[in-house]
Amino acid sequence: MDSVDTGIYLYWIPLGAGGSGFVRTNGRIYEAIESRRRSRSAVDLYHTALQVRLPERRFIVETMWPSPAGNPAERGVVVVAPVFASWLSFTRIFRYEVRCWPDGNLPDADEAFGGPQPVSRDEDVSRRVLDLTKKVPKLVWGRDEADVGEMWNSNSVISWLLTRAGVEMNSVTAPEGGRAPGWDAGIVVAGRQAGESLRLPGTSDPLPT
């Protein structure tokens, strides 16, 4: 691979891409409830994933729920954590997995808004993201265990990784007219771990570290 390609590339994938009507419908219901609760218009929802390109190899970093059958090592699974409640995680239907998959496959990558978007060209930052995948907090998907005002999910994992790796996050935003639920939660949790006092947009007070 040409070294000029080295870097971290972010994918904004429309929720329910690839013909998943169940995911798309539930996402619309969720966004309808959230937009009414927050007195705003409903927007498009996105799922995020990363491709990390190094001179010697590329990696897909993504969070998947539910965990599929098969050998987790073959798809680069580095972290497994519960969905909705810890006691439900005895079955893979209620487990999610974080993947750092060498030369892996990213489903629906061709449907990503604007294609893969570079967020860092720094090789050291790129390698740091890969190292951090094994340290992703094992918070329950769909819950606000960290008490940040937003649920933890796949987008939280991606924004946590980028923030902890040192990517400048002010310039990394969802496509216009859309949002990625859980994105801000990952940034806040990462900031707390770095000893920073951060808050979610729309809140009046900084969150404690």
Specify the pLDDT at position 107: 85
Crossing angle of the two packed helices 183-193 and 154-165, in degrees rounded to 10: 40
Q: Kind and range of the H or E element at 139?
A: none
Give the model confidence (pLDDT) of 63-94 as tens digits: 999 889 999 999 999 999 999 999 999 999 99
Specify the pLDDT at position 70: 93
Strand, helix or coil at 195?
Answer: coil
Crossing angle of the two packed helices 154-165 and 123-132, in degrees rounded to 10: 130
Strand, helix or coil at 22?
Answer: helix
Specify the pLDDT at position 40: 60
Tell whether omega for the bond before 66 is within 30 degrees of 0, i.e. cis.
Answer: yes
Distances from the Cα of 119 to the Cα of 112, 154, 189, angstroms: 15, 18, 20
Instruction: Tell me the domain boundaries of the chain.
Output: 3-143
Phi then psi for 2, rounded to 5 degrees?
-65, 135
Write out residues in the chain with pLDDT < 50, as ranges: 1-3, 21-25, 27, 31-32, 203-209
Amino acid at 57: R
Amino acid at 41: S
